[in-house]
Amino acid sequence: MASFRIENILKREIYLHLLFWTLYITYPLLKHIDSNYILVQWITANSNIVLLLVLVYVCYYFFFPWRNRYKIPLLLLFFGVMTVLGVFFSEAILNLYIYHLDGYSYKTHALGILSEYILVSLIFYSFYSFKKSYILSNHLRIAELKNLKSQINPHFLFNTLNNIYAYTLTNNEKASELILKLSDNFKYILREGKKEQVSVELDWQHIKDFIYINSLRWEDKIVFEIDEEITNNKLLISPLILITFVENAVKYTSKLKGENRIVISLKINNEELFFTCKNPYNAEYVLSDDWESSGIGLKNTKKRLELLYPNRHELIIEDQNALFNVMLKLDLC
């Protein structure tokens, strides 16, 4: 469905471009409709149309999406070269139809052509920005939907309910705590998970509830170490981003023999968030469907970070010496 919508917007984009150029080319005819020299005026008004088309679509498909530190200097150079070419090209056309040009000035002519290039390029940049925004919003909705679905894990629910049942048989007080934490867990996913942003404190509490549930579920296999330093509780974050890394750590560690340790840290310095999650793993372990879905969850999280925090995040994932280490830096301003 989402790809169908994107295809639709791209088809409409073609019609939008055709409509613009039709109006742009025919406008001189409408402007000079009562003139005796309408054809000459139309030709001279559009004398630079070929170079304008080349300039606009080189910018549209190359310079606008290009990410490079030399982009601006090269773009200015490109505009300069095209302006010079435009002056000589249009002058040749003008000389062909108008034998004498009174008060002709190269400087004025060049400024006129450059102004035309800049104006039309800005119009097409607005087209490009709208298309990019539309496509990114579709990709973001898809990524967030997949992320929400991955959070509601039937295996996690089934095993937690089994733990609760085992505790109820011995009248263990942990049963009531698990029920409460499980309820809070799914309430957060279904309510807060749909919001664009939540407080860091609320999202972090959801992670700690998840850790508590798994510390009881894997009490003989996994030891959690948590280090937190939150100096600003008012900062906001997109929900269900950090939890993916914790879930992944639990899945990997739970397959190992003996008691193993997961170390999780969250620190906020001014408006910067620093999150780390370290866990042991066995690289030779054969991945099941559940493990494959874990990989999809990480890909979705990377995608969401790119869409929600462009140029405002740094994610490093190290996989060496049987240790999986996630380090995330987020600018929350």
pLDDT digits (tens, 9 = 90+) for 241-274: 898 899 889 888 988 888 899 999 999 988 899 9
Q: Which helix (H) or strand (E) segment is 314 a member of?
A: strand 313-320
User: For residue range 182-238, what is the model confidence (pLDDT) as tens digits?
Assistant: 888 878 877 887 788 899 999 999 899 989 888 888 888 999 999 999 888 789 998
> How many angstroms separate the CA atoms of 24 and 4, rounded?
30
Residue 94, pLDDT score: 66
Residue 107, pLDDT score: 78
Amino acid symbol at 21: W
β-pair partners for 328: 275, 315
In the predicted model, residues of the chain with pLDDT beneath 50 are 1-4, 6, 149, 152, 286-293
> How many angstroms separate the CA atoms of 208 and 61, rounded?
46
What are the start-end ranges of the H helices in the chain? 2-31, 38-45, 49-58, 71-97, 106-151, 154-169, 174-191, 200-217, 242-254, 289-308
The domains located in the chain, with CATH, are 2-142 (no CATH), 196-331 (3.30.565.10)
> How many angstroms separate the CA atoms of 242 and 207, rounded?
8
> How many angstroms separate the CA atoms of 318 and 248, rounded?
14
User: How is residue 172 annotated by DSSP?
Assistant: -
Residue 286, pLDDT score: 45
Residue 4, pLDDT score: 43
* Sign of CA pseudo-dihedral 153, 217, 252, 306: positive
